[in-house]
Amino acid sequence: MLNRSCSIYEELQVPNHYHPHADRETEYSGRILTGNYSEKLKETVREQVDACRAFDRIGLTVMPYISAWQVDRPGIWYEFVSHRFLDLFGVPSSRLGKEFRNAILDRREYERAEICPDIKEMVLPRHELENQWNRLRGESILAGETEAVYKVRLPDNRVRWLKDCASVTPFIEDSICLSPGYLADVSMEMSQKDQVDELNVMVNRDKGLLVEAERHAAMGQLSAKVYHEVRNPILSIGGLAKRLAEQQPNDGTRPYMAVIVNEAERLEKILNNLFRFTTPVELDLSPTDPVNLVKRVVGLLRSELGRYGIQVSLVCPQNHPFIFIDQEQIHEALIHIIKNSIDALPDGGNLKIHLTGEKEYVSIIIRDSGAGICATHENRLTEPFFTTKVYGSGLGLSIAKKAVQLHGGKLIIRGLDSGGTEVQMLLPLNEQIKNSN
């Protein structure tokens, strides 16, 4: 793609000369025919200029050109430029290179797969083009041809897409590369392609939302059935086991009864979490101090933290903003998150909680010094029933994510390079509350 890339990065120097041996020519704006170059190169340029002029007179919309550059030096010039190319920018040939260079918004290449029909689009933004000069030039010389699409903004502020197709022929004796080609306006096709791409993004996003909604609806129906049909027998089993344990003498059966009671309570807790996860929630919003909320949660879990020797540190700004939230929902979300951190520190460690006020959010970051998370599990941690724990239900982080999303926030979980896991809860600020505090 280099020959045209060069032409858009280097300001052209195109002195006007008249070629005495071609009476059909009205203008020659190159260097080779009047320079100290081989006759083979000059003859090639004469033939190509004549062909481009004849093609240009036909009146087709494509814009032929001939560019050239010295192999061992930067810079490029035109041996021929179509009048339509000049008229598109409304400038003489001496200014065309600079105008074209400044007009570029991006450069696009398309790679066609040999086996599958997919076409890969590679977009190179304007700010990256300067750094890719040598690579593009080298690739065009090796390939012997170039093809790209330039998105440009014209002097009248219109946006146009110009497809550039050219061949590249090196003349070793002269250290010159000659590149005849043409530009074609493909604005209609590219505009339609971009619109289709945007529609595809929207369809994929909406499809994901629809699948998620259908899954939650199915889980809601299932959980309601399970909750009502299974919960009562579990309560009965647990209650009877507890009564038997209290009434029977200590004959060796009481430990077994205790196991039944504990497991029944665990199953009841799982059912309650499942039912809460799938039940629609109406938020009860109120102004809340996030620091006090975090302190209450840490205080509630103080005994577990102390049992495992976990050191907790809380860092927060003095003038932190209030947030407009359902305290019960976010309180429960924080409990699930911090309990996961406790489970990750069975031999003790550090738990750091950091609160910051972002531009639009309050950020609560909970970072533990545990073993971290497997990269293959990172995207599944908030899926219902996904867990790596022996006795986990896989609903804690799902409930936390749902609570945060109900507030229009985000829950981000990532493993740290230094080890451990970081959970970031982003809760949107309410402008009135933020400004009044």
74 Cβ partners below 8 Å, 6+ apart?
10, 133
> Tens digit of pLDDT for each residue in 73-90?
877 888 898 888 888 888
Q: Which residues are paired to 150 by β-bridges? A: 107, 162
CB-based contact 110:119 (threshold 8 Å): yes
**Distance (Å, rounded) from C-alpha 177 to C-alpha 170?**
4
> Tens digit of pLDDT for each residue in 101-139?
888 899 988 876 655 556 778 888 888 887 887 788 888
Pairing of strands 361-368, 421-428: antiparallel
**Distance (Å, rounded) from C-alpha 364 to C-alpha 286?**
18
Residue-by-residue pLDDT tens, the chain, 437 positions? 334 334 333 333 333 333 333 333 446 778 899 899 999 999 999 999 999 888 888 878 889 999 888 888 877 888 898 888 888 888 877 777 778 888 889 998 887 665 555 677 888 888 888 788 778 888 888 889 999 999 999 999 999 999 999 999 999 999 999 999 999 998 888 877 767 666 666 666 656 555 555 565 555 555 556 655 666 677 777 777 777 777 766 667 777 777 787 777 777 776 666 666 566 667 888 899 999 999 999 998 998 899 999 999 999 888 888 888 988 889 888 988 998 888 888 888 999 999 988 778 899 999 998 887 776 666 667 665 556 554 555 567 877 888 888 888 988 888 887 788 899 999 988 644 444 34
- In total, the chain counts a number of residues equal to 437
**Distance (Å, rounded) from C-alpha 72 to C-alpha 40?**
20
Cα dihedral sign, 329-335-340-341: positive
Tokens read off for 172: 């070793």
Among residues 150, 180, 183, 184, which one has the least CA distance to residue 167?
A: 180
Which CATH number is associated with domain 286-436?
A: 3.30.565.10
Predicted local distance difference test score (pLDDT) of residue 332: 85
Q: H or E element: which one contains 322? A: none
Alpha helices in 62-146 (DSSP H): 83-89, 93-103, 126-129, 133-143
Predicted local distance difference test score (pLDDT) of residue 115: 56
Q: pTM for the full model?
A: 0.44
* Fold agreement (2-185, 286-436): no
**Distance (Å, rounded) from C-alpha 63 to C-alpha 182?**
5
Among residues 187, 183, 198, 128, which one has the least CA distance to residue 158?
A: 187
Report domain extents, the chain.
Answer: 2-185, 193-278, 286-436
Which CATH number is associated with domain 2-185?
A: 3.30.450.20
